[in-house]
Amino acid sequence: MLKGKTVVLGITGGIAAYKAAEIASKLTQAGARVEVVMTDAAMKFITPLTLRNITGRPVVTDMFEINSEWSVEHIALSEAADAVLIAPATANTIAKFALGIADNMLTSVVLATKAPVIIACAMNDNMYANPATQENIEKLRDRGFKIIEPAYGRLASGKQGKGRLTDLETIIRKVDEVLGGKGDLTGRRIVVTAGVTQEPLDPVRHLGNRSSGKMGFAIAEAARDRGADVTLIAAPVSLADPAGMTVVHVRTAAQMKAAVDKAVKQADALIMAAAVADYQPKTIAKGKIKKESKDSLTLELVRTPDILGEVKGNFIKVGFAAESEDPVGNAKKKLASKKLDMIVANDITAPGSGFDVDTNKVTIIEKGGKAEELPLLSKREVAEKILDRVAKRMGR
Ligand code: CTP
C-alpha cells in the first residue's frame, strides 16, 4: 500500500534517530514518497544530508525557510501527507503533541494534519514509565493516534529496559496497515490458547500454576494486528479481553480441550501458549474440604488430556515448553512426541524470562530446522517472531 503514497517521516532527538535512515530507506524502496521533517535535536544525532540522499527529497528542518518548495510549509506538508510517522518519538515531542504545542515544523505539521499519525516511541525506560508520559500517550491514543510501544532491550544508558525503538519491520507494517494494507495473516484463522487452567478440588479451591497468560495474549493481539481472524481460548487470567477477536473463556483442561477441538475445525494454525495442568484431582469434593483434626492430606491426581498431543487436523501446530532444565533438549522431545510444526522453549530460570514479566527469552525450534535462540525480548516481540515463522509456513 506504500506505492505512490506520501509519508511524512518525523524524526526527533533520540539515540534511535540513526535508525530513521533505514526506515526512510525501506519506505522509499517500497515506493512511498518520503518527506522527512527533523527537529533540531534530531539533527544532533543524524544529518539532514543522509536523509536527503536516501529519499531524494529535500529535508525540512526550519519552520521559516524562505527557499522552501512548500508554500506555507507546515500546512502544505500536513495536507500532502497520506500518513505521518514519527520515529523515533521522544517523551518531549509526545508531550508537545498531547498539549497541542506547535513550536517547530514537526509539531506544527502534526497539529495541522488530518492524516493518520503513527508514533513509534523510543526513550529512556524511566521516562517511558513516568506517569506524565503514560498519560500523554493515553491521551494521544484516545485521539486516534496509532502508538507503537517501545521494545525491551539494551538502552543508551547501557541498562536493559523498555524504551528501545521497536523493530523496523513492525513499524513499516504499521504504516502499511494505516494506509489500508492487509497484514500477512489476513484471511487466516488462528486459534491461540492462553492462561492457566484451574483444576477444582472442591467448590473453593483449585490446583493452578504461576503463569500470567501474557505470552498467549500477546500472540493473539499480534495475530489480530497482522490481519488474522483470531479465536483466543483463555483460561483464567487477570487480563482484560482483547478487542477484535473471539474470546472463549474456559476453566479446566477438559473444558479447554473441548473448546480447542471445536475451534480448530476451521483453523489454519493452533498456538498453545496456555499453561495446562497435567493432573487434576481424581474426585471433586461436593462441599468444602474441612481440615478437621488431620495433620496431613493426600490428594489423588489423575492425568488431564494432552490437548496439543491429541488434537487432530491439518493445521500448523505450535507448542510451548516451559523448562527448568535443558530447555532445548526437552522441547525437541515434545516437538517430536506431539507431532508439532514448531515449539517455543523457554528457560523459566533465566532472568527476565518466565512468569508474570513482560519479557521472555526463548529458543524457537521448527520441525526439520535448527534451534534458534532469540535474545531477551518483550513478549510482543516474541509473538511477532513466532508469527513470522507461522506466516512463512503458510506461504506468506
Ligand atoms: N499442553 C496441552 N495439554 C496438557 C499439557 C500441556 O496441550 N495437558 C500443551 C501446552 O500448552 C504446551 C505444551 O503442551 O504447548 C507443553 O507440553 P507438555 O509436555 O505438556 O509440557 P509440560 O506440561 O511442561 O510437561 P512436563 O511437565 O512433562 O515438562
The string of pLDDT tens digits covering residues 315-357 is 999 999 998 899 999 999 999 999 999 999 998 888 777 777 7
Picking from 272, 271, 280, 267, the residue whose alpha carbon sits closest to that of residue 208 is: 280
3-state secondary structure (DSSP) of residue 315: coil
Query: Is the shortest distance between the CB of 306 and ligand 1 below 6 Å?
Result: yes
Picking from 314, 205, 224, 320, the residue whose alpha carbon sits closest to that of residue 265 is: 314
What is this structure's pTM? 0.79
Cβ contact 321:354 at 8 Å: no
C-alpha 84 – ligand 1 centre gap (Å) = 45
Query: Is the shortest distance between the CB of 261 and ligand 1 below 6 Å?
Result: no
Which residue ranges make up each domain of the chain?
6-178, 189-283+292-393
CB atoms within 10 A of CB 205: 15
Q: Which of 8-12, 294-298, 391-395 has the highest mean pLDDT?
A: 8-12
Cβ contact 2:31 at 8 Å: yes
Picking from 36, 39, 32, 33, the residue whose alpha carbon sits closest to that of residue 21 is: 36
C-alpha 275 – ligand 1 centre gap (Å) = 7
Kindly report the backbone phi and psi dihedral angles of residue 259, in degrees, each rounded to the nearest multiple of 5, phi listed first.
Answer: -65, -40
Residue 163 CA: distances (Å) to CA of 12, 90, 91, 225, 308 = 15, 10, 10, 21, 36
| 74-78, 264-268, 390-394, range with the lowest pLDDT | 74-78
Average pLDDT over residues 205-214: 93
C-alpha 338 – ligand 1 centre gap (Å) = 9
Q: Which residues are catalytic?
A: 209
C-alpha 46 – ligand 1 centre gap (Å) = 49
AA identity, residue 82: D
Q: What percent of the chain has pLDDT over 70?
A: 97
C-alpha 276 – ligand 1 centre gap (Å) = 6
Query: Is the shortest distance between the CB of 307 and ligand 1 below 6 Å?
Result: yes
Task: Indicate which atom in ligand 1 lies nearest the CA of residue 275.
Answer: 11
pLDDT at 75 over 70: yes
Task: Indicate which atom in ligand 1 lies nearest the CA of residue 304.
Answer: 8
Q: Which three cell numbers stand for residue 70?
A: 512548500
| 13-17, 74-78, 360-364, range with the lowest pLDDT | 74-78
Strand partners, 60: 37
Query: Is the shortest distance between the CB of 14 and ligand 1 below 6 Å?
Result: no
Distance of alpha carbon 181 from alpha carbon 32, whole angstroms: 13
Burial of 312 per CB tally in 10 Å (0-12, 13-18, 19+): exposed
Query: Is the shortest distance between the CB of 335 and ligand 1 below 6 Å?
Result: no
Query: Is the shortest distance between the CB of 274 and ligand 1 below 6 Å?
Result: yes
**Ligand 1 test: best mutation among 276, 320, 325, most atoms within 8 Å of CB?**
276
Query: Is the shortest distance between the CB of 319 and ligand 1 below 6 Å?
Result: yes
Task: Indicate which atom in ligand 1 lies nearest the CA of residue 308.
Answer: 7
Residue 159 CA: distances (Å) to CA of 153, 164, 356 = 8, 11, 21
Strand partners, 229: 189
C-alpha 321 – ligand 1 centre gap (Å) = 7
Which stretches within the chain are classed as H helix?
Answer: 19-29, 48-55, 73-80, 91-99, 105-112, 125-129, 131-142, 168-178, 214-225, 253-263, 307-310, 327-337, 379-393
Task: Indicate which atom in ligand 1 lies nearest the CA of residue 330.
Answer: 29
| Smallest CA separation from ligand 1 atom 18, residue | 321
Distance of alpha carbon 394 from alpha carbon 396, whole angstroms: 6
| Smallest CA separation from ligand 1 atom 28, residue | 278
Q: Domain 6-178 is of which CATH architecture?
A: 3-Layer(aba) Sandwich (3.40)
Picking from 93, 117, 115, the residue whose alpha carbon sits closest to that of residue 105 is: 93
Picking from 55, 6, 25, 353, the residue whose alpha carbon sits closest to that of residue 211 is: 353
Q: Do domains 6-178 and 189-283+292-393 have the same CATH topology?
A: yes
Query: Is the shortest distance between the CB of 346 and ligand 1 below 6 Å?
Result: no
Distance of alpha carbon 46 from alpha carbon 271, whole angstroms: 42
β-bridge pairing 189-194 and 229-234 = parallel
189-283+292-393: what fold? Answer: Rossmann fold (3.40.50)
| Smallest CA separation from ligand 1 atom 8, residue | 306
Cβ contact 365:372 at 8 Å: yes
C-alpha 344 – ligand 1 centre gap (Å) = 12
| Smallest CA separation from ligand 1 atom 19, residue | 334
What digits encode the pLDDT tens for the residues 15-63?
A: 999 999 999 999 999 999 999 999 999 999 999 999 999 999 999 987 7
Average pLDDT, the chain: 93
Q: Which three cell numbers stand for residue 283?
A: 474426585
C-alpha 151 – ligand 1 centre gap (Å) = 29
Q: Which of 63-72, 79-88, 351-360 has the highest mean pLDDT?
A: 79-88
Distance of alpha carbon 107 from alpha carbon 293, whole angstroms: 72
Distance of alpha carbon 126 from alpha carbon 133, whole angstroms: 10
Burial of 56 per CB tally in 10 Å (0-12, 13-18, 19+): exposed
Q: Which three cell numbers stand for residue 130?
A: 513516568
Picking from 208, 213, 210, the residue whose alpha carbon sits closest to that of residue 242 is: 213
**Ligand 1 test: best mutation among 215, 306, 349, most atoms within 8 Å of CB?**
306
Q: What is the DSSP string of 140-152?
A: HHHTTPEEEPPEE
pLDDT at 394 over 90: yes
